[in-house]
Amino acid sequence: MTDLTDLLSSARASIAGAADPAALDTVRIEYLGKKGKLTELMKGLGAIAPEKRKERGAALNQLKNDITTELEKRTETLNAGALDARLAAERVDITLPARAASLPEGRIHPISQTIDEIVSIFGDMGFNVAEGPDIEEDFYNFSALNIPPEHPARQTQDTFYLNVMTTSPGASEPSPMVLRTHTSPVQIRTMMSQKPPIRIIVPGRTYRSDHDATHSPNFHQVEGLVIDTSTHMGHLKGCLIDFARTFFDVPDLPLRFRPSHFPFTEPSAEVDIGCSRKGGELKIGNFGDWLEVLGCGMVHPKVIANCGLDPAVYQGFAFGMGIERMAMLKYGIPDLRTFYEADLRWLKHYGFMPVDLPSTTGGLAR
């Protein structure tokens, strides 16, 4: 049987020597092809005496298996080498810049982001978002809110007027339309069109005839209104404390409610939050100093009556705050005017990723 051992040895040598798949195939044919060396030996089995045939057959089969295995192994090795060579040839400089289109260049403006945050927090307390027109009638912007005609806020230095006159409900003379000076007219529109209980927040554009470092002629406010039969000042405090602590993400943020005066609320309050101004840097938190953030109060009985509701039955609170101011405080934006300059450098720096959608479940803005 030494002929078989030699044959295996020579096959192994040939297989190992095959440098590529074609050479290996030649080897396979040399041994296992129709006229291959092993095939020829197989053909010779018939001539062997039956008592020896079985043993010889088993040996040949073993040899065939061995050679086949060797061929498969070599094929794998050769394939792997070819793939390695291809991969090496395909190598690129991965430090080159990525394809431009795949980079998220878009941003959400801080005003939109802040509105989304505020809506999310109040939404959790059962508030719905209400809206109203930017160009308002005198009645909704002033008279119904208990702001009499002689009030300083009505003077042209504060209010933008249009050259269009309207006669508001209950008014004897027409008055010019105004750009709303606050989001409060939506309180009136809502109370006149919707039966209590009411819980609304009103983010929107507002306008005042003022343009300097701390005033913009067009800015944003968010108004809140709760009207039912039992909401009192304790709820007002609770609601705004919960809001401010969530918004600024400072669980122990102190809030101070100070008596103040607005024509449309009674009692009225201004609200300060805790802060520090040490070293000229403003920090929000329990640091002993105070910073005014919003005005609020219990809706004035006259305002409720002006909307056709009975002030002996219905009561509630209202509050209003500047959205830019909240954004400036939370995100450390120093200058109000920059919100409207559409400077790409500013927008990319202070803007937010589109996927950064605030929610109280997933968290407010990153």
Partner 1 sequence: MKFTLGWLKTHLETNAAVGEIADKLTAIGLELEGIEDRAAILSKFVVGYVVEAKQHPDADRLRVCIVDNGKEKLQVVCGAPNARSGMKGVFAASGSYIPGKDVELKKSVIRGQESNGMLLSMMEMGLGDDHDGIVDLPADAPVGAPAAQVMGLDDPVIDIAITPNRADCLGVRGVARDLAASGLGTLKPRKVEPVAGKFKSHIGVKFDFPAGTENACPYFVGRLIKGVKNGPSPKWLQDRLTAIGLRPISALVDITNFLTFDIDRPLHVFDAAKVKGDLTLRLAKPGEKILALNGKEYTLTGSETVISDNAGVEALGGVIGGEPSGCTEATTDVFVEAALFDPLRTAATGRKHELISDARYRFERGLDVAAVVEGMEAATRMILELCGGEPSELVITGKLPEWKRSYTLRHERLHGLGGLDISLEDAAAILQRLGFAVAKDGNSLKAEPPSWRGDIQGEADLVEEVARIRGYEHIAAVSLTRDAGVAKPALTPQQRRVRESKRALASLGLVEAVTFSFMAREQAALFGGTSAELLLANPISADLDRMRPSILPNLVLAAKGNADRGYPDAALFEVGPQFSGPKPEGQQIVAAGIRAGKTGPRHWAAAQRAADVFDAKGDALALLTALGLSTENVQAVPEAPSWYHPGRSGALKLGPKTVIAHFGELHPGVLAKLDAEGPIAAFEIYLDALPAPKAKGSKARPMLRLSALQPVERDFAFLLDAGIESAKVIAAVKQAGKEVAEAAVAAVSVFDVYQGKGVPEGKKSLAIQVRLQPKDRTLTDAEIEAIGQKIVGAVSKATGASLRS
Shortest reach from residue 327's CB to partner 1, in Å: 11
- Residue 320's CB is within 10 A of a number of other CB atoms, namely 22
First to last CA, the chain: 80
Does 88 interact with partner 1 (rule: CB under 8 A)?
A: no
Closest CA to 264 of 229, 235, 299, 295: 299
Of 234 and 251, CB closest to partner 1 = 234
Of 261 and 278, CB closest to partner 1 = 261
Shortest reach from residue 341's CB to partner 1, in Å: 7
Footprint on residues 52-81 left by partner 1 (CB under 8 A): none
Of 24 and 271, CB closest to partner 1 = 271
Does 362 interact with partner 1 (rule: CB under 8 A)?
A: no
152: three-class secondary structure by DSSP: helix
Encoded tokens for 237 = 């405090």
Footprint on residues 279-298 left by partner 1 (CB under 8 A): 298
Shortest reach from residue 144's CB to partner 1, in Å: 16
Strands 265-276 and 283-284: antiparallel
Selected from 33, 37, 301, 333, the binder of partner 1 by CB under 8 A is: 301
Backbone torsion region of residue 297, taken as left when φ is above 0, otherwise alpha when ψ lies between -120 and 50, otherwise beta = left
Shortest reach from residue 233's CB to partner 1, in Å: 4
- Residue 69's CB is within 10 A of a number of other CB atoms, namely 10
Q: Which x/- pattern, by CB under 8 A, does the window 121-140 give for partner 1?
A: -xxxxxxxx-xxxxx-----
Selected from 25, 30, 66, 270, the binder of partner 1 by CB under 8 A is: 270
Does 357 interact with partner 1 (rule: CB under 8 A)?
A: yes
Q: What is the DSSP letter of 290?
A: E
Encoded tokens for 318 = 């209202």
Footprint on residues 179-198 left by partner 1 (CB under 8 A): 179, 197
CA atoms of 102 and 189, how far apart (whole Å): 46
Helix 110-124, helix 323-331: angle, nearest 10? 100
Tokens 């219990």 belong to 298
Does 214 interact with partner 1 (rule: CB under 8 A)?
A: no
Footprint on residues 156-175 left by partner 1 (CB under 8 A): 156, 160-164
Closest CA to 297 of 194, 226, 199: 226
Does 307 interact with partner 1 (rule: CB under 8 A)?
A: no
Of 36 and 274, CB closest to partner 1 = 274
* Stretch of 20-28, 34-42, 254-262, 329-337 contacting partner 1, by CB under 8 A: 254-262
What lies within 8 Å, CB to CB, of 250 at 6+ separation is 284, 285, 286
Number of residues that bind partner 1 (CB under 8 A): 92
